[in-house]
Chains A and B, each alone.
Chain A
Amino acid sequence: MTLDINWKGMLTVVKKEFIDSVRNKWIIAVTIIFVSLALLVSYFGSAMQLGETGFQGFLVTIVLIMAISVLLVTMIALMLGYGAIATERERGSLDLLLTMPITRTEAVVSKFIGLATVLFVSIFVGFGLAGIVIAAVAGAADFPKYLLFLGATFMVGLAFLSVAFLLSTVTKRRSTAMGGAVLLWFFFILIYDIVLIGVFVATGGDLFTPGSSLPDWYYAAELFSPSSAYGMATSLMLGGNASEILPGFVNGFSTVGSLLAWILIPLVIAIWVLNRRDI
């Protein structure tokens, strides 16, 4: 079998997906949200801890942004992706797309790349612009770490985009895909941690005695959640005492590996399902 990829066709779909997000002002809205979020958080976020306002350096800014970006970026990625296939199916444009001289795999991958580009641009332009302001006021120290953090943020976005694609492929209707996206978001962002802690306490675990710590299995389970993997990867990158609290197997490789798996596996399953599905 020869690997005969229709690059031109793929580029056409990638471009269309990206330009679509410009046309419907999605990318602009999201970028503005990211800029203002980063600036607001960096300026006011320290008020509670430090009792003063003003732009903080990048390390503090990262910690402050992360608490919100894990909620926002994952939600935006799900919103971008849940309709990718389901909406096209519902409005009938999927019939035409999949009868063009492009394979189903190429079509899905191109759509994914197109929407990933939307995420990339909004994250790096949005948080990047804010980063320039912060660097100008509070100094450029640790700017490389800020870029690494944005890279991790992009990855968790891709992981949720990939999950959204899978949802969009397996569901029959757009509304089902949307419902599934909402449930998944609540599951990973809120419920997963609560359940893990609950299991720990229910099995006799102790959280309140000073010096007590969470067991290894808890962290192992956290590695299976893309949003937790993102949180742990960022903590490790920031340094501090994270590497002392976290067990040895939670490291750069395992956290980034978890995110990569979450990016690739749902997308591969989505492609597999779509290739076998009746349209």
Chain B
Amino acid sequence: MASGYPAIKTEGLTKKFKELVAVNDLGLEVKKGEVFGFLGPNGAGKTTTIRMITGLMYPSSGSVLVNGEDIAHHGLQMRKSLGFLPERVGFYPNLTAEQTMEFYCDLKGQSRDQVRPLLHRVGLLNFAKKKVNTFSRGMVQLLGFGQALIGEPDLMILDEPAGGLDPYWIRMVKNAILEAKNRGATVFFSSHILGEVEEICDRVAIVNQGILAAEDTIDNLRKHMEMKPRLWLQMTSVDENAVNVASSIDSVTNVQVTGNWIMIECDHELRMDVMNALKEKGYQILDFRTEEPSLEEVFLRFTRRAEGGQTR
């Protein structure tokens, strides 16, 4: 296996559908052995990007390199070590879950011995002999995930792996992703739900309207966005003057009032200063709480503009 090259690298990746530019000059780099979250609102171009990386769609311009090799010429090579879960995965209605897994094991040249353990893993062992056309959407999704695990692939590309799953199975998917990482695999997956990715991703990319908005670790993204933790104080009364007092302190970036709560955006070290300043002016603090900025907010900042304030 070629080393030193990134697992996935896209250069100027662009896809146009007539008038619409679904993916615009996208340059991503996914390192070997990392879990990479590919984030963005619905319709941002995530699935189109994934379809180009897996070779299902052809770029209008630009290229995809997997292990340093252009998939336009080495697509088969890439597919030999790929575990892929497409968006809205579908199977053959007449096959049972077991026959389905056996079919993909055969195609991948992998032993059928792993079929039952994998079905057990995704909770479908009791349904091994049931035809796929009797399955619910969530069961089909789980079977799709089980299929992507066949042969412990070096590269896993998962399009919305948690889609349609309840929290118990989302946990299973997360654990399986971390296990894949631990044996040295690279995992690239898309999501539009931030809670799903925050704890398992080494790095994330945020894409919006086909354009790469950010690519970094989650911590760096927070710093980059200058999003500071928030201090909420409940006081007997909150007036204009209290806002002025809080704002006058250096490096307080934002102050807002909701009822008798005042929200002050500042670094942790400044919190005592802020509270002392308010006390000196005679304000009595009844209660307080603190709030760390979540990836959700980072994400919203990047995507709000285009979404008109609404993100699902």
Q: Which residue numbers of A lie inside 8 Å of B, CB to CB?
A: 8-9, 12-13, 16, 20, 23-24, 91-93, 95-103, 276, 278-279
Contact = CB atoms under 8 A, between A and B. Distances in A.
Interface in B111-162: 144, 147
Given A101-B80, A279-B57, 15 more contacts: A9-B107, A9-B109, A20-B94, A91-B90, A92-B90, A93-B91, A93-B92, A96-B91, A96-B104, A96-B147, A98-B55, A99-B56, A99-B82, A100-B108, A279-B56
Contacts of B190: none
A12 B106 contact: yes
A271 to B, nearest CB: 16
Nearest to A21: B94
Contacts of B93: 91
Nearest to B75: A103
A102 B56 contact: no
Contacts of A278: 51, 56-58
B84 A99 contact: yes
Contacts of B103: 12, 16
A101 B107 contact: yes
Nearest to A89: B90
B56 A95 contact: yes
A8 B86 CA distance: 24
Nearest to A106: B76
17 contacts: A8-B106, A9-B109, A20-B94, A23-B94, A91-B91, A92-B91, A93-B92, A95-B89, A96-B84, A96-B89, A96-B147, A99-B55, A100-B107, A101-B107, A101-B108, A101-B109, A279-B57
A268 to B, nearest CB: 20
A232 B79 CA distance: 47
Interface string B247-265: 0000000000000000000
A25 to B, nearest CB: 10
A103 B56 contact: no
B188 to A, nearest CB: 14
A149 to B, nearest CB: 33
Interface residues of B, number: 28
Interface in B49-91: 51, 54-58, 76, 79-80, 82, 84, 86, 88-91
A48 B76 CA distance: 61
Nearest to B83: A99
Nearest to A95: B86
Where chain A touches its partner, the secondary structure class is: helix
A12 B86 contact: no
B79 A100 contact: yes
B65 to A, nearest CB: 17
5 nearest A-B residue pairs (beta carbon): A92-B90, A95-B86, A91-B90, A12-B106, A278-B57
A9 B110 CA distance: 11
Contacts of B80: 101
Contacts of A100: 79, 104, 107-108
Contact of B54 (A13, A99, A102, A103): A99
A101 B76 contact: yes
Q: Which of A92, A103, A276 has the most CB of B within 10 A?
A: A92
Contacts of A95: 56, 84, 86, 89-90
Nearest to B54: A99
Given A8-B109, A12-B106, A20 B88 contact: no
A13 B56 contact: no
Contacts of A12: 103, 106-107
A33 to B, nearest CB: 21
B45 to A, nearest CB: 14
A91 B94 CA distance: 13
Contacts of A8: 106, 109
Contacts of B54: 99
A16 B92 CA distance: 10
A102 B90 CA distance: 18
A76 B54 CA distance: 35
B76 to A, nearest CB: 6
Contacts of A103: 76
A203 B37 CA distance: 70
Q: Which of A91, A100, A279 has the most CB of B within 10 A?
A: A100
A96 B58 contact: no
